[in-house]
């Protein structure tokens, strides 16, 4: 099948590469010349484990181009996978979706199915259908299908190739059958529904997970007050099959490209329709407050950060990605800098993107040892394996004053008790603390 994917970000590129893996001929379209040149050279413009390897494996089935008109005109199926960033009021910005939709309408020369893969507010597919039909240049038949993605950054390839379900919102059997031809190679269960329900499934799923994270963080904060251990609490909760053990890891809040904007977008949509989803509204508030948890902890040890040497381990919002969107580091580091701290940071994947924001304000190190040397305080923002697997005695050996504020609960409390390190984590007792 001849497939075209508009957009080479996380959603578009991963979708395209995974579709080529099951034998489809896929053309990736983007307006960013640098991205397309990078892809043509065999490199991925985003860091995603396993993605570049699949690109190399399926070179003969993958094509990258800036020429959208030529790509769209004879496609069987066109996926729209461009970004829908958050507007200032919290609503989803559909500018790029409509730009692609117009270009598709003016380019296609044969009947085709147009698939909205981007996360869009409920009712958008219906509007896109009307918009495309109003802008068609040629007499062709088009079907618009909602097909939301459920991938997580860092595991996007696995999530796509081994998804738990494929949601298809189609208005007729023809479009449904075409989508099954696209996806049958994956061998995954289908959820066939109308477009509005498919759009809602995406938001409801993401926002439920955001709620779960916010809830466990609230419980963790209370655990610290009453002397309970959040990890034991989460373990006990997770063994209940009605609850499940996923997304019960307490920390300093969710980030990335999905949960923050999707919670705000659904809340905005509800308010726009004179309804309030109070649980989502609370999750947003809890998450914003949770990002400041480490700063509040650090204030127990230093009233001011002026002149302090501060080590930062991890800059990205989660491991195995170079994405900084809504990362806790972007909330905390400006506060530390404004207070006069000297910051050294280590993140082998996120450094490049962080330098675009702070090119000279902080020192970027090439290893943990250099980052920790002579530090008065250490913040852990990302639970990279290199952080979790670190010989914890290095904190005491290298730091001027071994105070570790861990936002991801990377270390075992019993092991930390054996050291002289002041260890302050989330929802657990502070160890070896100063009197």
Query: According to DSSP H, which parts of 291-384 are helical?
Result: 293-298, 328-338, 351-357, 368-372
CB 54 within 8 A of CB 61: no
CA distance 62 to 64: 7
Contact by Cβ (8 Å): 318, 153: yes
CA 422 to chain centre: 32
CA distance 157 to 279: 31
- DSSP 8-state assignment for residue 431: B
Q: Whose structure tokens read 């919102």?
A: 169
State the catalytic residue, choosing from 28, 258, 378, 410: 258
For 302-332, give one letter per residue: b (16+ CB within 10 A) or e: beebeebbbbbbbbbbbbbbbbbbbbbbbbb
User: CA triplet 430, 432, 434: central angle to 5 degrees?
Assistant: 95
Residue 4's SS3 state is strand
2-6 and 77-80 beta bridge pairing:
parallel
Mapping DSSP to helix (H, G, I), strand (E, B) and coil, where does residue 63 land?
strand
CA distance 49 to 40: 19
Q: How far apart are CA 425 and CA 200, in angstroms?
A: 36
* Best CA proximity match to 314, nearest among 325, 301, 328, 297: 328
Pairing between β-strand 112-116 and β-strand 142-146 as defined by DSSP bridges: parallel
- 378 included as an active-site residue: no
Nearest to 181 by CA among 197, 195, 168, 164: 168
Residues marked as catalytic: 258
């Amino acid at each position: 099948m001849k497939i075209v994917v508009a957009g080479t970000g996380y959603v578009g590129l991963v979708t395209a590469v995974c579709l080529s893996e099951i034998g489809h001929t896929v053309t990736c379209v983007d307006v960013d010349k640098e991205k397309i040149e990078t892809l043509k050279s065999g490199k991925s413009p985003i860091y995603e484990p396993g993605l570049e390897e699949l690109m190399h494996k399926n070179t003969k089935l993958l094509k990258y181009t800036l020429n959208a008109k030529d790509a769209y005109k004879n496609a069987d199926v066109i996926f729209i996978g461009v970004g829908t960033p958050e507007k200032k009021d919290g609503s989803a910005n559909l500018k790029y979706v409509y730009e692609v939709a117009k270009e598709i309408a003016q380019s296609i020369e044969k009947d085709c199915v147009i698939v909205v893969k981007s996360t869009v507010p409920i009712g958008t597919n219906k509007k896109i259908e009307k918009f495309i039909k109003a802008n068609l240049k040629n007499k062709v038949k088009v079907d618009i299908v909602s097909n939301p993605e459920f991938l997580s950054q860092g595991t996007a390839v696995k999530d796509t190739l081994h998804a738990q379900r494929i949601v298809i919102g189609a208005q007729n059997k023809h479009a449904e059958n075409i989508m099954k031809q696209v996806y049958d190679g994956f061998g995954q269960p289908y959820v066939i529904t109308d477009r509005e329900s498919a759009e809602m499934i995406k938001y409801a799923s993401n926002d439920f997970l955001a709620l779960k994270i916010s809830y466990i963080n609230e419980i963790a904060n209370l655990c610290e007050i009453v002397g309970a251990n959040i990890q034991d609490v989460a373990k006990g909760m997770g063994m209940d099959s009605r609850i499940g053990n996923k997304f019960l890891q307490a920390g300093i809040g969710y980030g990335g490209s999905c949960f923050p904007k999707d919670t705000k977008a659904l809340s905005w949509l509800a308010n726009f329709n004179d309804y309030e989803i109070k649980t989502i509204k609370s999750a947003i508030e809890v998450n914003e407050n949770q990002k400041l948890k480490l700063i509040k902890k650090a204030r127990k040890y230093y009233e001011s950060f002026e002149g302090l040497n501060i080590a930062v381990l991890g800059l990205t919002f989660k491991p195995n990605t170079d994405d900084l969107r809504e990362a806790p580091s972007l909330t905390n580091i400006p506060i530390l800098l404004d207070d006069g701290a000297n910051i050294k940071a280590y993140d082998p994947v996120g450094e490049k993107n962080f330098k675009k924001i702070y090119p000279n304000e902080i020192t970027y190190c090439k290893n943990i040892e250099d980052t920790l040397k002579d530090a008065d305080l250490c913040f852990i923002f990302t639970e990279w394996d290199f952080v979790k697997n670190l010989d914890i005695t290095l904190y005491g050996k290298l730091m001027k004053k071994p105070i570790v504020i861990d936002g991801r609960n990377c270390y075992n409390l019993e092991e930390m008790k054996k050291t002289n390190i002041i260890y302050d984590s989330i929802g657990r007792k502070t160890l070896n603390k100063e009197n």
